[in-house]
A and B are shown apart, each in its own frame.
Chain A
Amino acid sequence: MSVKEGLIYSEDHEWVKKEGNTAVIGISDFAQEELGDIVFVELPDAGDEFNQNDSFGVLESVKAVSDVFVPVSGKVVEVNEELFDNPELINEDPYGDGWLIKMEMSDESELEELLSAEEYTEFIEEA
Chain B
Amino acid sequence: MKKTPLNETHKKLGAKMIDFGGWEMPVEYSSIIEEHKAVREKCGIFDVSHMGEIIVSGKKAEDSIQRLITNDAAKLSRGEILYTPMCNEEGGIIDDLLVYKLEDNKFMLVVNASNTEKDYKWISSHLLEETAAENKSEDYALIALQGPESRNILQKLTNINLAELKYYKFEISEAAEVDAIISRTGYTGELGYELYFSALKAEKVWDSLMEAGENYGLKPAGLGARNTLRLEKKMNLYGNDMTEKNHPLEAGLGWTVKLDKGDFIGREKIKKYKENGYPNKLAGFKITGRGIARHGYEVYDKGKKIGVVTSGSYSPTLEENIGLAYLDKTIIEDGREIEIKVRNRFVKAEIVEGAFV
- Listed in ascending order, the chain A residues whose CB lies under 8 Å from chain B are 36-37, 39-40, 42, 58, 60-63, 65, 84
User: B319 to chain A: closest CB distance in Å?
Assistant: 9
Instruction: Return 10 A-B CB contacts under 8 Å, by A number.
Output: A40-B314, A40-B321, A60-B314, A62-B33, A62-B313, A62-B316, A63-B27, A63-B32, A63-B227, A65-B292
- Given A39-B314, A40-B290, A42-B290, 4 other A-B contacts at CB below 8 A? A60-B314, A62-B32, A62-B228, A65-B292
User: A37 to chain B: closest CB distance in Å?
Assistant: 5
- Listed in ascending order, the chain B residues whose CB lies under 8 Å from chain A are 16, 27-28, 31-33, 224, 227-228, 290-292, 294, 313-314, 316, 321, 343
Other-chain contact of B32, A37, A40, A42 (Cβ < 8 Å): A37
Main secondary structure of the interface of A (DSSP, over half): strand
B224 with A62: CB separation less than 8 A: yes
Main secondary structure of the interface of B (DSSP, over half): mixed
Q: Tell me the bound Cα distance from A39 to B81 in angstroms.
A: 37
- Indicate whether A39 sits within 8 Å of B31 (C-beta atoms), given known contacts A58-B343, A62-B314, A62-B316: no
Q: Tell me the bound Cα distance from A110 to B33 in angstroms.
A: 38
Instruction: Return chain B residues, CB-CB under 8 Å to A42.
Output: 290-291, 343
Instruction: Return chain A residues, CB-CB under 8 Å to B31.
Output: 36-37
- Indicate whether A37 sits within 8 Å of B33 (C-beta atoms), given known contacts A62-B316, A63-B224: yes
B343 with A36: CB separation less than 8 A: no
User: B345 to chain A: closest CB distance in Å?
Assistant: 9
Instruction: Return chain B residues, CB-CB under 8 Å to A39.
Output: 33, 292, 314
